[in-house]
Amino acid sequence: MEGINEQEIQANQWVKFGLRLAVSAALHPFEYSKVLIQLGYEPIAPRPGKSIFGKDIYVLPNIFRYTSYIKRVDGFSGCYRGLTPKLVGTVVGSICSERIADKLGVTDDKLRQESEELSDEEQFDKFLQTLKRDVVVHASGIIVTHPFHVISLRMMATFIGRETTYRSLIGSIVEVYKNDGIFGFFNGIIPKLLCDLACLVLTSTTVYLFNKHFIQDQDGRQYFASFTQFVYASLLYPLNVVSTCTAVSGSGLAAGRPPIMPEYISWKDCYNDLKTRGELKRGNSLFWRSLPRHSPNAMKISVMKDSSVPLPSITKYA
């Protein structure tokens, strides 16, 4: 009977994982657009508008209009550029991260007991053990999947310069190794690790403390957990932008070299440059995007010869 329950649990986990892959694939065109925005690519000229406070602004295209532009240029299938390595990385990361945690002895067998049945000291010990396992699973997952993440980002970045490299998974692996060596597969991993792990630790700790002292209702706890994760993810979002730019910078693609992007020496160099230009929040807002009408960071767009895709200079917008 216990064996049947374990099999049912495992089957349900695989079903949920399959649904997660399906949702990820369905939403990929929007993720694709967000990556191009993070890289500073603005192919659609902004239109004049007014903010809610009546100030003159330029309105940038939202995520739907941006995705529609990609479809118009490359067709429906073109909206799924970079999806294959993304899905492969998700599968590999999911399998390997759990096995790595088990190999390190960070198991979840002792974490299934209900918190109401535990004393305060036992609850704190359970929190630490759960957090320890989550950190190991997340960190190992990021490390294992990052090479696929870099390939996916560079595949999407070829939209900007219309390059023919990074078309297939195997060809992209060869291209990354040829250009950057083995370390090229891990460009941008440090800010990504800092972003994801900091968000995990801060969210888990805040939720644990509030649940212990203030929130007793189960629904309230779930809402608060989601809200807390959203807040910390927003605060740490600049590291996400830095990771994306660092993964593409110096890749040989037009998206990763001047005038589109400086060739950064390190992720810190990238962070300082984007901070100086006020671009650490690129892509954070996807539905309402704007910049001041008289901002010194006004966008300048040039058009690439013999191509229907505009190639901008370094974009500077809030």
Cis peptide before 259 (omega within 30 of 0): yes
Angstrom CA distances, 259 to 21, 34, 37, 163, 256, stand at 36, 20, 16, 16, 9
Can you read off the two tokens belonging to residue 204?
Answer: 């888990």
For 199-250, the pLDDT digits (tens) are: 999 999 999 999 988 888 888 888 999 999 999 999 999 999 999 999 999 8
Which residue ranges form the domains of the chain, and what is each CATH number?
2-41+61-277 (1.50.40.10)
- Residue 253 CA: distances (Å) to CA of 8, 51, 75, 197, 258: 47, 36, 22, 30, 10
3-14, pLDDT tens digit by residue? 557 677 777 888
Q: How confident is the model at residue 311, as a pLDDT? A: 39
d(CA 311, CA 268): 26
The type of residue at 99 is R
Q: Is 48 strand, coil or helix?
A: strand
Average pLDDT (25-39) is: 96
Higher pLDDT residue, 54 or 280?
A: 280
Residue 286 is predicted with a pLDDT of 86
Res 109: pLDDT: 54
CB atoms within 10 A of CB 13: 12
Answer whether 38's CB lies under 8 Å from 93's CB: no
Alpha helices in the chain (DSSP H): 2-26, 28-38, 63-78, 83-103, 120-161, 169-180, 189-213, 218-235, 237-248, 267-276
